[in-house]
Amino acid sequence: MLTYTIRRLILAIPTLLFISFVIFLIVKLSPSDPTAGLPLTIPPEVREQIRESLGVNDPVFVQYFKWLKLMVWDEPLHFIEGTTGWQVAPDGPRIISYQTRSPVMDLIAQRMPQTLWVVGTSYIVGILIALPLGIISAYKQYSVFDQVGTFISMVGFSVPTFFTGVLFIVIFAVNLGWFPSVYNTTHVVTDWDSFVVQLKQIIMPVMVLGLYNASQISRYLRASMLDNLNQDYVRTARAKGLTEKIVVLVHVLKNSMIPVVTVIALNVPAVFGGAIITEQVFKVNGIGQLLIIAIQSGDVPVVQTVSFIFAVLIVLFSLIADILYGVLDPRIRYD
């Protein structure tokens, strides 16, 4: 298993290099100009000098390798220095946002907690809803519970989050006035009352994303449970005189979770992507919103870096999914 993991990690390097190159090129292809956002009073010669200083007139490959070196070497060292305090960071340039003139990594570090809070909570809530929903739907197939569950998860799965998000705002924030429609990231939880405020503002984005995740995962789990409930080993478990609870929640569930856990792991990066829209709807200033603003204002370094981080997450979580598969299913050995 360890050799397999190491081999996969090494194999991930060329994959990520290729992805980084493609991301870099695609973003470069866009006709955006780093000086476009500057006031019109700045004369063309000055603009040209600004472009020159930003290095956008260099050949594309030179730009790519400069960016890559910063991305995989300088920035991680800055990250290490920032978290541990060791003086390891080089003095050279950093990946700088055109817009804010601050290092992109600092922007990401500022926005990561909000995204992790909202997306992470919603994913956990989604899983917590999906587990009982999938298990009961499968165990009581075609019952009223199953029919209602199937209907809700079909709706939850097919209706996009930007629609449910706005719908939730209209119903719960505008008409009922229960929850605020804007997520206030400056809010700090210090006591019970501020915790309630935090709970109120997080509940809508979490439910919107959580329902979407729950409907997807519960469908997978239901299908997987149905496959397993008819297996011979279930009859054996019953023939041993075990209670239905043990038969279903131990014997069937452990087998059914094998494909579902991989789906859960594989979906983590997709959830970050899905959060881009939800963050816009609820005005959560997380990574997704950073990416949208950067795209709109032609902030090439930010777009490249955030996209590359998403790519790393996708590669990483598919590796995690494969490893989990091997851990859960004793029949699979990677050595």
Partner 1 sequence: MRDGVTPFVLDVKDLKTVFRTRGGEVHAVNNVSFTLKPGELLGVVGESGSGKSVTMMSLIRLLPMPPAEIRGGSVMFEGQDLARIPEEMMRAIRGARIGMVFQDPMTSLNPVFTVGYQIIEPLRTHMGLSKAQAATRAAELLDLVGIPDARRRLGDYPHQFSGGMRQRVMIAIALACDPKVLIADEPTTALDVTIQAQILELIKELRQKLGMAIVWITHDLGVIAGIADRVMVMYGGQVVEQAPVRELFANPQHPYTRMLLETVPHIRGERAAKLRVIQGQPPILSRAPDSCPFLARCPQAFDRCAHENPARFDVGPAHDAACFWDFKTGAKRDV
Interface with partner 1 (CB under 8 A): 231-233, 235-243, 251, 254-255, 258, 328-331
Read out DSSP for 235-289?
A: HHHHHTT--HHHIIIIIIHHHHHHHHHHHHHHHHHHHHHHHHHHHHHHT--SHHH
Give the residues across from 160 on adjacent strands: none
To the nearest whole angstrom, how small is the minimum distance from the Cβ of residue 263 to partner 1? 17
Structure-block tokens of residue 48: 């040209």
Distance CA 149, CA 136 (A): 9
To the nearest whole angstrom, how small is the minimum distance from the Cβ of residue 322 to partner 1? 17
State which residue, 246 or 312, has the beta carbon closest to partner 1.
Answer: 246
State which residue, 101 or 331, has the beta carbon closest to partner 1.
Answer: 331
Give the residues across from 103 on adjacent strands: 96
To the nearest whole angstrom, how small is the minimum distance from the Cβ of residue 313 to partner 1? 29
13 exposed, middle or buried (CB, 10 Å; 0-12, 13-18, 19+)?
Answer: exposed
To the nearest whole angstrom, how small is the minimum distance from the Cβ of residue 126 to partner 1? 24
State which residue, 33 or 329, has the beta carbon closest to partner 1.
Answer: 329
State which residue, 86 or 233, has the beta carbon closest to partner 1.
Answer: 233
Vertex 330 angle, CA 327 and 332, to 5°: 85
State which residue, 158 or 231, has the beta carbon closest to partner 1.
Answer: 231
To the nearest whole angstrom, how small is the minimum distance from the Cβ of residue 248 to partner 1? 13
To the nearest whole angstrom, how small is the minimum distance from the Cβ of residue 139 to partner 1? 12
Cite the DSSP H helix spans in 140-252.
144-158, 161-168, 192-229, 232-239, 244-246
The four Cα atoms 302, 308, 310, 316 give a dihedral, to 10 degrees, of -150
State which residue, 16 or 246, has the beta carbon closest to partner 1.
Answer: 246
State which residue, 94 or 238, has the beta carbon closest to partner 1.
Answer: 238
Closest CA relative to residue 292, chosen from 192, 216, 281: 281
To the nearest whole angstrom, how small is the minimum distance from the Cβ of residue 144 to partner 1? 16
